[in-house]
Each structure stands twice: as C-alpha cells, then as structure tokens.
C-alpha cells in the first residue's frame, strides 16, 4: 500500500492541542485510553499444547522482563560487575519460579470441566506479551474531512483537524490499520519463534496487537505510528489546520495569530456547510475573513465604555 504524503489528526480545542500546535509535539496515547475497548488486545491460541514447552516459554519471557527491570535498577544505583550480574540472574530466576508456582497453586485441577493447566499457562503468556508492549500509539487518518470523525474526535465540530506532511524519512514508521472481521489471534508457536529471535514472528505479533481493528472502524482510514507513551518531538510537519463548523471565531483568530509568522507556513481552512446538501466542505481562510477580520475587539469595547460614561 502506498504511504500517504499527508495525514490528519482530529482534536478538541484545549491545552493539549495547543501544546501539539505551538510546541511541535506529537502525542502517543496509551491504548488503555482508546474508545474501542478491543483495540490493542489479542487472543492467545495454544497450538503447542505441551505443558513443559509452555512453562519454558513463560519462563524465558518472564526472566527476560525481570532481568531488564533489575538491570535498570542496578544501573540507577551505579551497581556493576560480575557479582551484580550473578545476583540479577539469581533474583530473576527466583521470580520466575515463584510466578509459575503461583499459577499452579491458584489453578483448580478439579474445577470447570475442560479447563486445563496448559490454558492457564497460555493465558499467562498472553498477559506477559501484552505487558511487554507498553507502547504509545499515534492515530492518524488519511481523510481530513470526514463528518463522523469531526463528531467523534473534534468535540462535535467545535474542534479542529491538524494536517501533517509525511516526509520520506518518516514514511517507514507510518503503518496502515488492517480492518478485519477475523479474531486477532497470536499462537504460542509464534511466541516461541519470537523468543528464539525470529524477526518475522515478532513483526506478525506486533501487527496483531497494534495494527488490527474491527471492520466497522474502516471509515476512519487510520494509519499509526508507534513509540513511547507521551509527548514526542514531531517527525511529521504540521502544514495545515482546519477549523470545525462550530469552532469559535476567537479560537480561530487566536491560533492563526499565534502561527502567522511561523518559519514553515501553515494553511488555514474552515469546514462549511454545502447549501441544500447533507455534505460539508473546507474553505481556505485568512485574516481577511469577515468573521475574524474585526478581532480582537477589546479596544472597541473600551471605547464604547468610555463613551457611555
């Protein structure tokens, strides 16, 4: 699929959107904040069905996670050397053994019919996989004038839509959402390949987590970038801002005034109603626009008060 040269972000007008606009940041959201509760969730399918192999996978995943955490703690305390590494290895192995012990202790071997210890191990593997991908997601759209997106993400047309140019060097990091009615399954055999350094298996798992959504969301025409959660320096260039049909004139004026002498110029548009049709379109605007031409009005109001006195 060709990578788009421009992508759009629908936003309410608030302090967060001002931060993105004036400071040239992009915000990568935690998937737990998404309006789709199924987004970035996976189902683990156990196609290995071998208790010892599943314990081995779980052990490797957890030990790798524990060693990373302990190494970061030791680094912050300036602990180094072979003894530190040996201690980290011992502590992480102890954590692994306790974790597996807890799974077996909490599993009811005489519980629900059909429930097996291999399922419990596979579910634990799935939880570890998801916890290991604690990444942030920047959601963008290739459609900058979608009425539904204006309603859902831009405060019922009172917000704005940021248009970003996608430079060539950033295109490799922009990936399309795959809309599907199929389940987002990850097989335990894929996870085994991943921990054995199979990059294709790793990519397939990451795609299942971050790049699949249910078919009804296809109208969003979404593309994503993945990075650490929070604000990041922009790798895309803000090139246009479109104001919603209900966006306040004072908001429009304030943003345009803040950016009018920007080194990389920005085009401004506003969504308007097409007469006699159920459609909207965007029109280019500038400071000559009649609704914002007379802003700010503070001096007029002061003169009026003086005259009244």
pLDDT digits (tens, 9 = 90+) for 3-49: 899 999 999 999 889 989 998 999 999 888 888 888 888 888 889 88
Nearest to 235 by CA among 187, 285, 164: 164
Query: Residue ranges of the domains in the chain?
Result: 1-30+136-182+220-309, 47-132
Which residues make Cβ contacts (< 8 Å) with residue 137, sequence separation at least 6? 28, 29, 31, 34, 40, 210, 224, 225, 226
N-to-C CA span, the chain: 68
Half-sphere exposure of 219 (CA within 13 A, CB side): 8
pLDDT for the residue 306: 42
What is the rounded distance in angstroms from the CA atom of residue 153 to the CA atom of residue 159?
8
DSSP letter assigned to residue 29: B
Q: How do residues 206-227 score in pLDDT, each as one tens digit?
A: 888 899 988 999 999 999 999 9
- Residue 169 confidence (pLDDT): 92
Look at residue 305 in the predicted model and tell me its pLDDT: 45
> How many alpha carbons fall within 13 Å on the CB side of residue 47?
11
Comparing C-alpha atoms, which of 136, 146, 142 is closest to residue 222? 142
Report the b/e string of 32-48 with b at 16+ CB within 10 A.
eeeeeeebbebebebeb
Model pLDDT, residue 28: 94
Residues 6+ apart with CB under 8 A from 237: 164, 165, 167, 264
pLDDT of 171 reads: 92
Flag residues of the chain having pLDDT under 50. 302-306, 309
């Amino acid at each position: 699929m060709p990578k788009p040269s421009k992508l759009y972000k629908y936003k309410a007008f608030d302090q967060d959107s001002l931060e993105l606009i004036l400071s040239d940041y992009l915000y990568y959201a935690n998937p737990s904040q998404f309006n789709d509760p199924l987004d970035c969730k996976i189902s683990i399918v156990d196609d290995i069905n071998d208790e010892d192999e599943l314990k081995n996978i779980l052990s490797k995943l957890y030990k790798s996670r524990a060693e990373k955490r302990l190494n970061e703690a030791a680094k912050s305390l300036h602990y180094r050397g072979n003894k530190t590494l040996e201690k980290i290895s011992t502590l992480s192995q102890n954590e692994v053994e306790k974790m597996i012990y807890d799974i077996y202790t909490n599993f009811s071997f005489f519980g629900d019919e059909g429930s097996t210890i291999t399922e419990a191990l596979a579910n634990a593997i799935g939880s570890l996989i998801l916890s290991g991908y604690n990444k942030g997601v920047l959601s963008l759209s290739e459609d900058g004038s979608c009425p539904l997106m204006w309603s859902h993400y831009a405060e019922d047309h009172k917000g704005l839509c940021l248009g970003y140019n996608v430079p060539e060097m950033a295109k490799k990091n922009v990936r399309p959402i795959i809309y599907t009615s199929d389940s987002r399954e990850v097989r335990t055999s894929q996870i085994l390949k991943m921990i054995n350094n199979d990059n294709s298996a790793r990519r397939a798992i990451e795609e299942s987590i971050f790049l699949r959504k249910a078919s009804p969301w296809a109208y969003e025409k979404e593309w994503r970038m993945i990075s650490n959660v929070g604000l990041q320096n922009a790798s895309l260039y803000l090139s246009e801002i479109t104001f919603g049909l209900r966006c306040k004139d004072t908001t429009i004026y304030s943003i345009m005034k803040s950016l009018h002498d920007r080194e990389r110029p920005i085009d401004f548009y506003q969504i308007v109603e097409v007469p006699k049709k159920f459609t909207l379109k965007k029109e280019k605007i500038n400071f000559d626009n009649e609704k914002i031409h007379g802003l700010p009005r503070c001096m007029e109001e002061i003169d009026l008060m003086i005259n009244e006195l």
